[in-house]
Structure 1
Amino acid sequence: MSLVDAQIPVLKDQALWSSRDNSSLFLYGGRRASNISLDEKVWKYGVQEGKWKVQETSAVPVRYDGGVDVDVPELQSAYWLGGYQDSSTTTAITDSRRVYATRLVEFNTTTGEIAEFEAPVTPVQDGALVYIPVGEKGLLVFLGGETPSMINGTNATMAVNSWNYVQVYDIASGSWYNQSTSGSVASRTQFCATVQHDPASASYQIYVLGGADYHSQDVVTDVDYLSIPSFKWYNAAGLSEGRMTLSCQAYGRQIFGVGGRLAWADDSDAGCYTMPAFIYDAQSEVVRSAFDPGLMTYSLSSATAADIKASPYPSSWASPALKNLFVSQTNTTSATASPSPTSSSGGGSQSHAGAIAGGVVGGVIGLALLLALGYIFLRRRHRAVPQTEESLPVATGSWEKAELPTSGHTVSEVSGEAAASELESEQPMTRHELAGGNEPVYELDAQGTGQR
């Protein structure tokens, strides 16, 4: 152990993010813990050197408190949403005002650069922000939290956000979606959230642990999880004791809960827990007395798995674009055993699949047309010649073929004289079916966007 340099700010409620190779830690946000001068810089800790230094950025960072964040090492990015500035976060504010954030902050953990993006869900405080590896770069899901009655002012009243919807941010497109949810869940604040993945159902579960009721200020033991892409809430067995303002991190199917308070108070009335951390087994839904490194694989209960299988998607989507992220992802993943593409190639894989499939379909149709025209020509030329075993037969049977996965869209077959629209691609394509022989004709599987 070594003493921390006195110039390093002493903070509360800050975010701590790691670089992709875990060689560096970055300290962002938070409020001062005592009456000391406060800078708004990002601080970097070199793990090998064991030293702190200021991370230089081209944009001036803004220190917020009361926001939510998530670290995504595989993208070399970390994100901060919501929160506010006041006299405990910046020397620029000397009164009791709070100025709420209105943008999403992205921090590159390799270059150390900061960027900000539009966030229609703001202003907001508390709640939770998690990462789901779906789509080209993945999705951020924000749930819970409270919305202030004013962006800049004093004594703002807070409105508790409904848990009947979540906010979904597609990182690749920069689009936000307000997606409705179903199921029963207790509203709360100052909880923690983490994600589990069930490969069998190709679903993700956002686990919400602890917290407190915003109005009654009662600390809760509840554990619930939101299954995605069904966007349905399920209830799990609770914690052995309630905690609020805690942090949690998943390792395999075990969720580590750290810190927090036992009561809604900032002094000794907040209580003192027996252990500063606990382990919640997301699969067996029990609090474990010891960590088991062998419990890595997570799976849903049979009842939840059956319910998801019966209703894998919500009754309505916030946008067709959001639906396509999940439906095409699920279908193409289950339809092919080939390795998932890298993130750099994921954006164009769906349109390439449509082009490949369209080419195959066009080739089959072209061949059928040539055969039909050739047959008509020969039949007219040799009308007087009796048909032999070697003559080309007239196709009277149905054309049996393997259908190409269509990303969840219904395909309606019609006769060869009518146009049948089957595959979605970036450029609409019309194809015409012709009756064929009894021989099966196979179409090429499309390679969809893989999960990272």
Structure 2
Amino acid sequence: MFLLTLSLLALLVKTTVQQKDPLNDFCRRFGHQTAVVDRKLFIDGGLLDWNPISQNPLNYTNTWLLYNDLDTSPAGIGTPQLYANLSKNASIPSVSGGILWPDDVNKRVYLYGGEYYQTQASSYSLLSYDVLNDDWDSFGVPSASIQSVSYGAGVGVSDIGEGYMLGGWLSNASVPGWSGAPLATSTLVKYDMDKGAWTNNTGPDNTPRAEGAMVYLPASLSGLLVHFGGLTTPYGNGTIVGSPMSEIHIYDIQSSSWYTQTAVGDVPEMRRRFCAGATWAPDRSSYNIYLYGGAGFDANATGFDDVYILSLPSFTWIKWWPSTPGSGKPHNTLSCNVIDGAQMIIVGGTFPLSSDCDSPATWGTHNLDLGKQNSAGAMWHDYQPNLTTYAVPSEIIAVVGGSSLGGATLTAPASGYDNRDLAVYFTQQASVASRTPTRQIPTPSATQSSGSSSSSSSLSSGAIAGIAIGAAVVVIALLIGAWVCIRRRRRDVPKQSPASDFSNVHEQPYPYTPSPNSQYIPPMNQEFHPARQPHSPFQQPTSIAELAGTTSPHPDENQKFYSPPPNDSSYALEWVPHSATNPHQSPVSVQASLHSEMTPVTELSGSNPMILHENQRSP
């Protein structure tokens, strides 16, 4: 018994030591979903790589729900402080390529869609994280016409209490029992947060599409949805076609009508898995959509490291950054969130040509000052919590006229609208009645009081290990005591009572309640990640290749989980060791994500990726 006790103790201590810290051991993240509620930027799911990458050559599912405190920007970091002490146990799925719809009125985020990694897809239920109570609720299974998709173009609009997703992939990584190849959809899924009602609306046409971006603008009577980019599958045979970036789809929420308008100017190259966010001039004379990064299509395009702005209603593309030619450090499958209309926080991404971590000091978080409202007049700059108004930058003013406060003079496409309805919509400003919470919401003072404790400093790694080891010792002591009691009982009781039957008990998520004083607490019942095997290669379409680690084992060919990356071998690249240094001016994650969802790699000849200096000010 003594030897058994020592063995159990050693096993528990080993597991504790090997448990990764999502802050201190961070290297890269991608495929996650984000939303802003109650001054917190929530980050859920996706895949991540641990630091050092040489000892952790595989991708792992991110099972934590994290958040950036948007009221902070610690000196020496320059991005909002990240915390990982929220409830999310093993009963809550961790997916990639889904969406978090924010509900700032009811203090919730809703998780829709996404695909599973290294596990069978589960039947979909709409889950919601309760920001106030730090737990999860299930809102049930949608109607039969609503299926879970991944990597669609989604947006949540808290002002009107609605969440949307256009297109996306159906596969056996997202739909239980799916037996065919991945299939893109053409519909617009809508969820009404106040009524709990789903609708499946038509898209801009009957063409299946995925991997684009969609944003909300407060124009027209109830707002407009603007979609662009991504890919289509128009032929029904798995062939993918890039969607031209000059083709802009507009959905009028009031009339449930779709329109298409041609954009001009510095039109970006076709891309997918990029991110975008919208803001507008104080007088709404221009609505400006900022686009960052993405993956390309043709054999010579490994993706993009750039910023473009689509200014409406002139429908003009403006290249904002960089000003000099160069491929930079392309990356894709990342997230963008506009904060107070003035800054855009970019999180993560996978880098096909790079081999270092994505700014571990800032946890892969970078900040874009949309109006260059800083002393240096820089685009990439430290996050400023008190910057709450947008100023139109000079590059937009040079195209549409006006000033930093608005007053744009180019208020229609130079060649006219493709549909006259759009001319009317852009003269209107959305006037939406204030929503009433559907549940009791504490007063701001009470919310601030409870929230203050969650922002306190974290326990050190040594303290966490000490607590865990101490807990392990207590558990062992209890096990020994229980064993002794059982042996005594067996001498006195001739027959055990039958076990209780729990087969009819309905399982409910039972979130783990963390200490309010810790930035990092391992989720309860979390799987031990390093034991996982790499994901199998996708069958069709083939994946965007992230770089394979030199020690990665071969995928399990008997495992068949489909996923939606396009049939495009241009991303099957193997990194070569870096040997040079070069300060770079974009969000850098010089270690490519070791995305095991890829076809066999080929060597990238004639390339020598460079080490890039991590700097969140000009990443």
Q: TM-score range by the shorter chain?
A: 0.5 to 0.7
Match of 1:85 among 170, 179, 184: 170
Q: Could you report, residue by residue, the CA deviation over 1:174-199 in whole angstroms, capped at 9, with x for unpaired residues? A: 11111011101222221110012112
Distance 1:74 1:131 in 2: 10
SS in 2 for 1:323: helix
Q: Which residue of 1 aligns with 2:368?
A: 280
Q: Structure 2 unaligned runs (5+)?
A: 1-84, 402-408, 435-619
Superposition pairs of residues 8-157 of structure 1, within 5 angstroms: 8-56=92-140, 59-60=143-144, 61-95=146-180, 97-121=181-205, 122-151=207-236, 156-157=238-239
Cα distance change on mapping 1:299 and 1:170 into 2, 3 Å: same
SS in 2 for 1:178: strand
Kindly state the Cα deviation for residue 286 of structure 1 after the two structures are TM-superposed. 3.4
Higher share of residues assigned strand: 1
Match of 1:244 among 329, 332, 335: 332
Q: Which residue of 2 aligns with 1:448?
A: none
SS in 2 for 1:307: helix
Distance 2:273 2:285 in 1: 29
Match of 1:319 among 395, 401, 419: 419
Kindly state the Cα deviation for residue 303 of structure 1 after the two structures are TM-superposed. 5.5
Identity %: 28
Distance 2:394 2:138 in 1: 50
Match of 1:186 among 239, 243, 268: 268
Kindly state the Cα deviation for residue 242 of structure 1 after the two structures are TM-superposed. 3.7
SS in 2 for 1:11: coil
SS in 2 for 1:74: coil
Distance 2:433 2:421 in 1: 18
TM-score, scaled to structure 2: 0.49
Q: Could you report, residue by residue, the CA deviation over 1:271-294 in whole angstroms, capped at 9, with x for unpaired residues? A: 531241100112227354521123
RMSD across aligned positions (CA) = 2.5
Q: Could you report, residue by residue, the CA deviation over 1:358-416 in whole angstroms, capped at 9, with x for unpaired residues? A: xxxxxxxxxxxxxxxxxxxxxxxxxxxxxxxxxxxxxxxxxxxxxxxxxxxxxxxxxxx
Match of 1:305 among 397, 418, 421: 397
TM-score, scaled to structure 1: 0.67
Q: Which residue of 2 aligns with 1:173?
A: 255
Cα distance change on mapping 1:89 and 1:182 into 2, 3 Å: same
- Which residue type is aligned with residue 263 of structure 1? P
Q: Which residue of 2 aligns with 1:262?
A: 351
Distance 1:194 1:160 in 2: 21
Q: Structure 1 unaligned runs (5+)?
A: 334-339, 345-452
Cα distance change on mapping 1:294 and 1:47 into 2, 3 Å: closer
SS in 2 for 1:12: coil
Cα distance change on mapping 1:293 and 1:241 into 2, 3 Å: farther
Q: Are 1:263 and 1:271, in contact at CA under 8 Å, matched by a contact in 2?
A: no
Task: Give the number of equivalent residue pairs.
Answer: 326
Q: Are 1:207 and 1:225, in contact at CA under 8 Å, matched by a contact in 2?
A: yes
SS in 2 for 1:32: coil
If asked which structure has higher relative contact order (CA below 8 Å, sep 6+), I would say 2
Kindly state the Cα deviation for residue 270 of structure 1 after the two structures are TM-superposed. 7.0
SS in 2 for 1:140: strand
Kindly state the Cα deviation for residue 302 of structure 1 after the two structures are TM-superposed. 4.1
Kindly state the Cα deviation for residue 312 of structure 1 after the two structures are TM-superposed. 2.3
Kindly state the Cα deviation for residue 56 of structure 1 after the two structures are TM-superposed. 2.4
Q: Which residue of 1 aligns with 2:475?
A: none
Superposition pairs of residues 360-439 of structure 1, within 5 angstroms: none
Deviates more, 1:98-107 or 1:287-296: 287-296
Q: Are 1:64 and 1:85, in contact at CA under 8 Å, matched by a contact in 2?
A: yes
Kindly state the Cα deviation for residue 300 of structure 1 after the two structures are TM-superposed. 2.3
Match of 1:213 among 296, 301, 313: 296
Kindly state the Cα deviation for residue 18 of structure 1 after the two structures are TM-superposed. 2.1
- Which residue type is aligned with residue 164 of structure 1? S
Q: Could you report, residue by residue, the CA deviation over 1:182-238 in whole angstroms, capped at 9, with x for unpaired residues? A: 101222221110012112561110100111222234232211101110011111123
Matched, 1:163 2:224: no
Match of 1:203 among 271, 286, 307: 286
